Copies of this chain bind each other. A is one copy, B any other.
Amino acid sequence: MAGSFDAFARKLGAFVALSATELDVLSRLHRRRRTFVAGRDLVHQGQSEQAAYILTSGWVCSYKSQPDGSRQIIDFQIPGDFLGLRSILLHTSDHGIEPIGKIEAAEVLRQDLLDAFAHTPRLATAVLWAASRDEAMVVEHLVGLGRRSASERMAHMLLELGARLALVGMGDKAGYDCPLTQYHLADALGLSAVHVNRVLRQLREEGLVTFQGGHVAFNDYTGLVALAEFDPTYLDQMGPLLD
């Protein structure tokens, strides 16, 4: 099982120092391993009786389809993220979740989660922390759409992804591997693909960041942070609040 739940344990460990019992409960939540490929949603918008998942490898995006056929990407999820928590707590999933390439995830049934919470209440608090952190990210995206320019929005998203990936050991201030296309970025940032292309070229020409060949390279991390006014406090990665 080594490696299979590392990212999730590592992430929750940022909030609570996990005991052996809690690690064991977490490990058991990873029993039902599933593989998904691009084009087949894990969670379907508007349907009930959905499962939740813990993503163990690969990236996914959560999105809402609009009646006119357009879609708004709410967020991207990376290994260690809980997927579809809202889908099992709300009667009907308010969003869809789509794999970006091939991914692996552990399926978590509502009852498994309730049992885990009953036996290890601190885990419930840790999952609530992760949900709060997810909401803080959605709030930042809301502020981005409401108040930031296209290049500030792009810079902010690339920095946020970098900080999140660093927490699970998949990136640093030099950069990270990133499977997103310009269409994903466009649907997340409320821009056209052409506009995304222009903004990325501009950021590259200013020597701030280069996104090419599936890799994001921070050429001037401090300059990019200044442009985006990126303050990572909301990602709450400063170490455990609970002993």
Please give, as numbers and ranges, the residues of chain B lying within 8 Å of A127 by CB-CB distance.
128
Minimum CB–CB distance for A43 against chain B, Å: 13
A243 vs chain B, min Cβ distance (A)? 12
Q: Is B135 within 8 A of A233, CB to CB?
A: no
Number of copies: 2
Residue A33 at the B interface, CB < 8 A? no
Q: Which of A89, A131, A146 has the most CB of B within 10 A?
A: A146
Contact present for B136 and A86 (CB under 8 Å): yes
Which of B46, B68, B74, B128 interacts with A142 by CB under 8 Å?
A: B74
Of the candidates B46, B92, B129, B135, the one whose C-beta lies within 8 Å of that of A138 is B135
| B238 in contact with A91 (CB, 8 Å) | yes
Which residue in B131, B136, B141 is a CB contact (below 8 Å) of A132? B131
Report the interface size for chain A: residues with CB under 8 A from the other chain.
Answer: 50
**9-residue interface stretch from A114-122, A157-165, A217-225:** A114-122
Shortest beta-carbon distance, A167 to chain B, in Å?
14
- Bound complex: CA of A121 vs CA of B229, how far in Å? 39
Known contacts A90-B234, A139-B95, A142-B72; is-contact A124 B117 (Cβ 8 Å): yes
A135 to B147, CA, bound (A): 20
Across chains A and B, which 9 residue pairs bring their CB atoms closest together, nearest first?
A94-B234, A146-B190, A145-B145, A124-B124, A90-B236, A86-B132, A135-B135, A118-B121, A89-B132
